[in-house]
Amino acid sequence: MSKQILMLVGDYAEDYETMVPFQFLNGLGYTVHAVCPDKQAGDYIATAIHDFEGEQTYSEKRGHNFTLNYDFDKVNPDDYIGLVIPGGRAPEYLRLNERVIAIVRDFDSDEKPIAAVCHGAQLLAAAGVLRGKTCSAYPACAPDVRAAGGEYADIDVTEAVTDGHLITAPAWPAHPAWLAQFIAALGAKVHI
């Protein structure tokens, strides 16, 4: 059984929602292939740091450079056991890429675990995989979830929700719950 996970990222993906799952899953022994359309292994994406500082929406600052470790053009969904979709601004334009949409649909049709956080729901909505599903996301994405036929889960920012093979959360403060639910969906057991 493969221990490879695919992560779809793009410029201005949220920093924590990219870096933390990538490092966490690698630390558990998974091989995570971080890819971006039109980029290859060794290229990087610019990330954005989104924070909650008291205004009506999150603030955004330039984050780190995140180095990709696999070529997008080499991706074969059959080689992976799960998919991670970070939030940030990247999903709003990644959803315009037909190959990205096809990849998301492949994971969904095979019922492989898909973990999406924050604005990652925009990719799920564009791929048409939310009909009849409960999905959390950043609250500004609630209309996208509902328009795609999903039920928006209005949960605390530290919570996550699993509906079948779909694991979603509103933002990076939910990492402990979101990642725990994702690895459980992958069949992993952590013993302390």
- Per the listing, tokens 């940030």 go with 88
Q: Is 119 a catalytic residue?
A: yes
Query: Residue 91 — left, alpha, or beta (φ > 0 → left; ψ -120 to 50 → alpha)?
Result: alpha
- The neighbour count for residue 106, using CB atoms within 10 Å, is 17
How far is the C-alpha of 30 from the C-alpha of 53, rounded, in Å? 34
How far is the C-alpha of 30 from the C-alpha of 5, rounded, in Å? 7
Structure token pair of residue 16: 């924590």
Cβ distance 5 to 34 under 8 Å? no
Of the residues 33, 36, 50, 118, only one is catalytic, namely 118
Q: Is 64 a catalytic residue?
A: no
Of the residues 33, 119, 165, 175, only one is catalytic, namely 119
Residues in the chain, overall count: 192
Catalytic positions, written as ranges: 118-119
